[in-house]
């Protein structure tokens, strides 16, 4: 998500919040000074966000939240603060800020975006240079963050089906399900290579039952065929073979004799 995109998110609430803060200036000199100061701090924070100065923006937003407590501007600053933490690489602080916001503001006009942002923080498909050099795919990494992202996106879709963030969240949910299925197959493939045939068959079976109708289903069936064959479980092997041929009649695993226990072509070492 670009900074320009983020600046448009939750903007309506921000305008309302600023209007409330500025109108509160008439309530008294002392309160007016505090509220006006909070609005100025928030404006300065937005400038820092626009320039990518995450640390400076975070300090300003923390002050805004303290001075504008109980207002929509405080809610806006909390969400912006979570975004800033995320962009600064402080994932734990971003999630902590969002969890606190979601818990304390169940009726906030920005709740749908908070859920969406929490999903984005956990939805990390950027493997980085080390992942690229090692040929690592998303399915080979620990999947807890993916599961957390899925839960946030699902909560968004269920609570706010009409939210403008829901369509994108649903697309990301589909991607996560495929990645989780591929992860199970990745583990099954590893067990097969190591000769742990029972574990390989069980993990492939888990991919089939937990994540049916995903792209990884084809390889999961082939791993089961290989594992059951090594175990001498002929009926189970034949059942898996029948399913593979029925659902994937043109499977490359059968036609080309591809083997899940051989090193992929893209592995450099």
Question: How many Cα atoms occupy the beta-carbon half-sphere of 197 within 13 Å?
Answer: 12
Domain range 1-122, CATH class = mainly alpha
- At residue 24, the pLDDT reads 43
Q: How far apart are CA 245 and CA 248, in angstroms?
A: 5
- At residue 137, the pLDDT reads 57
Percent of the chain with pLDDT over 70: 74
Q: Considering all CA atoms of the chain, what is the largest pairwise distance in Å, rounded to the nearest integer?
A: 85
Give me the DSSP letters along 226-237: HHHHHHT-HHHH
pLDDT in tens, 72-129: 999 999 999 999 999 999 999 999 999 999 999 999 999 999 999 999 999 864 444 3
Give me the DSSP letters along 162-191: T-TTHHHHHHHHHHHHHHHHHHHHHHHHHH
Chain mean pLDDT for the chain: 82
Q: Map out the domains of the chain as residue ranges.
A: 1-122
In sequence order, which residues have a C-beta less than 8 Å from that of residue 267 and are 6 or more positions away?
Answer: 135
Return the closest-CA partner of residue 25 out of 36, 38, 13, 14. 36
pTM here?
A: 0.74
- DSSP state, residue 40: H
């Amino acid at each position: 998500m670009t900074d320009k995109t983020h600046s448009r998110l939750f903007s309506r609430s921000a305008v309302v919040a600023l209007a409330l803060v500025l109108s509160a200036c008439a309530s008294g000199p002392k309160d007016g000074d505090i509220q006006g100061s909070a609005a100025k701090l928030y404006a300065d924070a937005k400038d820092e966000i626009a320039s990518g100065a995450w640390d400076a923006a975070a300090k300003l937003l923390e002050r805004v939240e303290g001075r504008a407590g109980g207002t929509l501007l405080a809610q806006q600053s909390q969400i912006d603060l979570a975004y800033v933490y995320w962009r600064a690489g402080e994932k734990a602080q971003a999630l902590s800020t969002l969890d606190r916001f979601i818990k304390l503001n169940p009726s906030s006009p920005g709740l749908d975006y908070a859920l969406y942002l929490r999903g984005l923080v956990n939805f990390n498909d950027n493997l980085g240079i080390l992942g690229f050099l090692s040929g690592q795919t998303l399915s080979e990494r620990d999947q807890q963050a993916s599961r957390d992202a899925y839960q946030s996106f699902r909560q968004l879709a269920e609570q706010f089906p009409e939210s403008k963030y829901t369509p994108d969240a649903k697309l990301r949910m589909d991607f996560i399900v495929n990645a989780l299925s591929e992860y199970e197959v990745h583990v099954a493939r590893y067990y097969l290579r190591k000769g742990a045939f029972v574990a390989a068959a069980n993990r492939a079976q888990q991919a089939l039952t937990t994540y049916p109708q995903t792209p990884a289903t084809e390889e999961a069936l082939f791993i089961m065929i290989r594992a059951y064959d090594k175990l001498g479980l002929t009926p189970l092997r034949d059942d898996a073979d029948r399913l593979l041929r029925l659902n994937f009649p043109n499977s490359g695993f059968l036609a080309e004799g591809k083997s899940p226990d051989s090193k992929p072509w893209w592995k450099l070492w």
